[in-house]
């Protein structure tokens, strides 16, 4: 098949959850023998390195600058779509068997007159209007809270429109799949895992790791909560305890650097090209998120890399994990207890992580993806 993947940002390098999902699925489409074009819009032009890497898995790459304008805030359409409206006018002059929109915000591409297509799919990364609502709950300023609330209302209308128009909806989250009234066109498409699973092993040390995008309010909220409420408890309980914050930033935010760079028993790493080093250091992976939607890719990747997961229910939602697969915690005391349990009972931690890995292997995305594509043939 000839397939167009339309992304609201450049997915390489894959330094945050949404980018990882898109990039790894492009690899899967390529591995299945399909011809893939990538159409992307972003605020920053792609580098030669990005273009060269994307060319390994895609036939053609089309790019349009994403632009935010102040007047867009006063439209009845969401800013998240309006800032990507260049997708409507980009000159592609191609015909596709399938177009995959990476969220409803890429809808303008489907009305691009230089494109024809047979079928269309939306990859549902989140129930977006709910996601923006909870981002508002994580926001620290009144201005941000107002923006997210207003945007959420606009997004709900857009989602209803786009979902009704496309042929299929591919949900990353099992939980989100049940939230729409379009089950006949909805499929659970798991997060794509192409790398080999790393078997969990017993390690020395008391290293706790958090990885996440530090340009998202819900990640910042959870991380700050952990540093304020759990980190001091672990400092007192574990003499050789150390906390690694491995974050991604789209821009060089000095405020974020100042916030996390000089904390006791903390190492702050930004945009590292190699996450493996920190998975290897980790005895425990924590996901203290209290607001969100969809699937938290950080939790999946930790388990794939053999790291025991201590997480809130939000941090583990949508994946299908049970209490036999991760360590559940919602309070500071519970986080402390569960982290110490992982460190002091390595056999239990190993068994839970192995159980999670077995489940993730059973829900392999490539088989589901092939079936979905075959149905379009």
pLDDT band at residue 252 using 50, 70 and 90 as cut-offs: low
Q: Which of 226-230, 248-252, 347-351 has the least mean pLDDT?
A: 248-252
Among residues 236, 222, 201, the alpha carbon closest in space to that of 340 is found at: 236
What average pLDDT does the segment 1-19 reach?
Answer: 94
Last residue of a domain, one of 159, 189, 219: 189
Assign 194 to helix, strand or coil.
coil
Q: Is the pLDDT of residue 253 over 80?
A: no
**Is 168 in the same domain as 216?**
no
**Is 226 in the same domain as 289?**
yes
**Is 105 in the same domain as 6?**
yes
- Assigned domain for 40 exists: yes
- Assigned domain for 115 exists: yes
CATH of the domain at 299: 3.40.50.2000
pLDDT band at residue 70 using 50, 70 and 90 as cut-offs: confident
**Is 154 in the same domain as 278?**
no
Last residue of a domain, one of 189, 215, 237: 189
Q: Cα–Cα distance between 222 and 126 in angstroms, integer? A: 18
Give the single-character DSSP code of 185. Answer: G
Q: Is the pLDDT of residue 318 over 80?
A: yes
Q: Is the pLDDT of residue 167 over 90?
A: yes
Question: Taking the CA of residue 6 as centre, how many other CA atoms within 13 Å lie in the half-sphere pointing to its CB?
Answer: 29
Residue tagged 């042929």 (tokens): 167
**Is 113 in the same domain as 177?**
yes
Q: Are 191 and 297 in contact (CB under 8 A)?
A: yes
pLDDT number for residue 164 = 95
Q: Is the pLDDT of residue 376 over 90?
A: yes
pLDDT number for residue 12 = 95
Please write the tens of the pLDDT for every residue from 90-143. Answer: 999 999 999 999 999 999 999 999 999 999 999 999 999 988 988 888 787 898
Written as one string, the DSSP assignment of 336-372 is: HHHHHHHHH-HHHHHHHHHHHHHHHHHT-HHHHHHHH
For CA atoms 43, 49, 55, 60, the dihedral sign is positive
Q: Are 214 and 220 in contact (CB under 8 A)?
A: yes
pLDDT number for residue 291 = 86
Express as a percent the part of the chain with pLDDT over 70: 100
Find the domain containing 310 and state its range: 206-362
- Assigned domain for 368 exists: no
**Is 134 in the same domain as 241?**
no
In the chain the beta strands, taken as DSSP E runs, fall at 2-7, 35-42, 60-65, 94-101, 115-124, 168-171, 186-188, 206-213, 241-248, 266-270, 284-287, 309-311, 327-328
Q: Specify which residues 192 forms β-bridges with.
A: none
| Stronger pLDDT, 208 or 75, i.e. the higher one | 208
CATH of the domain at 75: 3.40.50
What average pLDDT does the segment 238-255 reach?
Answer: 87
Give the single-character DSSP code of 116. Answer: E
**Is 346 in the same domain as 299?**
yes
- Assigned domain for 200 exists: no
Among residues 77, 86, 123, the alpha carbon closest in space to that of 108 is found at: 86
**Is 177 in the same domain as 260?**
no
- Assigned domain for 216 exists: yes
Please write the tens of the pLDDT for every residue from 195-234. Answer: 999 999 989 899 999 999 898 888 999 999 999 999 999 9
Last residue of a domain, one of 189, 214, 245: 189
**Is 22 in the same domain as 93?**
yes
**Is 214 in the same domain as 287?**
yes
**CA–CA distances in Å: residue 124 to residues 98, 108, 211, 294:** 16, 16, 23, 8
* Both structure tokens of 282: 């980790």
* Both structure tokens of 26: 């492009």
Among residues 293, 16, 312, 294, the alpha carbon closest in space to that of 134 is found at: 293
What average pLDDT does the segment 162-168 reach?
Answer: 96
**Is 254 in the same domain as 117?**
no
What average pLDDT does the segment 342-356 reach?
Answer: 96
pLDDT number for residue 130 = 87
Question: Taking the CA of residue 51 as centre, how many other CA atoms within 13 Å lie in the half-sphere pointing to its CB?
Answer: 9
- Assigned domain for 201 exists: no
pLDDT band at residue 293 using 50, 70 and 90 as cut-offs: confident
Q: Are 321 and 300 in contact (CB under 8 A)?
A: no
Mean of all residue pLDDT scores within the chain: 93
- Assigned domain for 341 exists: yes
Q: How many domains does the chain have?
A: 2
**Is 213 in the same domain as 152?**
no
Residue tagged 């926001």 (tokens): 139
- Assigned domain for 73 exists: yes
């Amino acid at each position: 098949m000839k397939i167009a993947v339309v992304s609201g940002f450049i997915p390489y390098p894959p330094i945050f959850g949404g980018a990882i999902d898109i990039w790894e699925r492009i690899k899967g489409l390529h591995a299945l023998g399909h011809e893939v074009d990538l159409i992307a819009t972003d605020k920053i032009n792609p580098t030669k390195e990005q273009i060269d890497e994307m060319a390994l898995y895609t036939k053609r790459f089309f790019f349009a600058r994403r632009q935010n304008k102040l007047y867009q805030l006063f439209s009845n359409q969401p800013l998240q779509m309006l800032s990507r409206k260049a997708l409507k006018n980009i000159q592609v002059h191609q015909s596709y068997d399938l177009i995959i929109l990476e969220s409803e915000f890429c809808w303008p591409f489907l009305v691009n007159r230089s494109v024809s297509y047979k079928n269309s799919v939306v990859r549902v990364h989140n129930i977006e209007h709910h996601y923006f609502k909870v981002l508002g709950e994580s926001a620290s300023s009144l201005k941000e809270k107002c923006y997210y609330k207003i945007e959420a209302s606009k997004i709900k209308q857009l989602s209803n429109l786009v979902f009704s128009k496309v042929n299929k909806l591919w949900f990353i989250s099992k939980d989100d799949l049940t939230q729409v009234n379009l089950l006949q066109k909805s499929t659970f498409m798991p997060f794509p895992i192409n790398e080999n699973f790393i078997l969990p092993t017993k390690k020395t040390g008391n290293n706790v790791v958090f990885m996440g995008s530090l340009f998202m309010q819900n990640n910042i909220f959870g991380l700050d909560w952990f540093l304020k409420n759990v980190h001091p408890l672990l400092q007192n309980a574990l003499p050789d305890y150390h906390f690694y914050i491995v974050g991604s930033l789209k821009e060089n935010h000095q405020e974020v650097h100042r916030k996390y760079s000089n904390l006791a028993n903390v190492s702050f790493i930004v945009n590292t090209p190699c996450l493996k080093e920190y998975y290897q250091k980790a005895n425990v992976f924590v996901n203290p998120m209290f607001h969100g939607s969809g699937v938290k890719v950080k939790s999946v990747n930790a388990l794939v890399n053999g790291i025991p997961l201590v997480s809130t229910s939000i941090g583990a939602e949508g994946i299908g994990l049970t209490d036999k697969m991760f360590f559940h915690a919602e309070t500071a005391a519970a986080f402390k207890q569960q982290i110490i349990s992982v460190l002091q009972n390595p056999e239990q931690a190993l068994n839970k992580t192995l159980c999670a890995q077995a489940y993730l292997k059973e829900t392999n995305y490539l088989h589901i993806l092939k079936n979905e594509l075959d149905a379009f043939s």
